[in-house]
């Protein structure tokens, strides 16, 4: 059963990180004015649907399966695991900010027609990649 939990966890994490990456790249590539144009607006809607139907559920499943792995594997609070949980929590928070930014870009404000997103989200593709690399390194190497 343990190996099945690992396989499902890795699959859920892969879908989550891929979805976050697509959202992060789209948000960093578009400004509020460009997002209102027909082509980018259609792409935003499509990525928004993917976010709601695949990326967010994959994140939830990754958390649930990760907790199940800790319990079934009897890992306890090993230092590498605590570090991983801190990074996963940060990625989860970034996921929330990206989902909100996607909705903000996709729904123009009534008064001005544009709703800007946080300029810090321009760096989100790098944050997603760095977080994923750090997590994989911690899980494989278990440095401490």
Neighbours of 137 (CB within 10 A): 14
DSSP string, 62-80: HHHHHHHHHHHHT--S-HH
pLDDT in tens, 90-118: 999 999 999 999 988 877 666 655 567 88
Of residues 77 and 88, the one with the higher pLDDT is 88
Cα–Cα separations (whole angstroms), residue 20 to 5, 40, 57, 58, 139: 22, 18, 12, 11, 20
Neighbours of 44 (CB within 10 A): 21
User: pLDDT band at residue 26, thresholds of 50, 70 and 90?
Assistant: very high
| Residue 69 clears pLDDT 90, i.e. is over it | yes
Of residues 91 and 35, the one with the higher pLDDT is 91
Q: What is the mean pLDDT of residues 6-20?
A: 98
Sign of the four-CA dihedral 131, 97, 22, 119: negative
| Residue 84 clears pLDDT 70, i.e. is over it | yes
| Residue 56 clears pLDDT 80, i.e. is over it | yes
Q: What is the mean pLDDT of residues 121-127?
A: 94
**Taking all residues of the chain, what is their mean pLDDT, rounded to a whole number?**
91
| CB 99, CB 20: distance < 8 Å | no
Neighbours of 144 (CB within 10 A): 9
Q: Which of 123, 23, 29, 15 is nearest to 60 (CA)?
A: 15
At residue 18, the pLDDT reads 97
Q: What is the mean pLDDT of residues 22-44?
A: 85
Q: Which of 96, 89, 100, 117 is nearest to 33 (CA)?
A: 117
**pTM (2 d.p.):** 0.89
């Amino acid at each position: 059963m343990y190996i099945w939990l690992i396989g499902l966890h890795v699959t859920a994490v892969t879908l989550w990180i891929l979805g976050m990456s697509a959202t992060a790249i789209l948000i960093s590539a578009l400004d509020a004015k460009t997002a209102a144009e027909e082509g980018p607006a259609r792409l935003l809607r499509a990525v928004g649907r993917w976010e709601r139907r695949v990326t967010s559920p994959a994140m939830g499943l990754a958390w649930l399966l990760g907790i199940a792995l800790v319990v079934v594997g009897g890992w306890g609070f090993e230092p590498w695991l605590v570090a991983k949980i801190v990074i996963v929590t940060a990625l989860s928070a970034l996921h929330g900010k990206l989902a909100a930014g996607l909705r903000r870009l996709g729904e123009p404000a009534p008064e001005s027609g544009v709703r800007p997103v946080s300029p810090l989200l321009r760096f989100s593709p790098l944050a997603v990649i760095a977080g994923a690399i750090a997590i994989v390194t911690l899980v494989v190497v278990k440095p401490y």
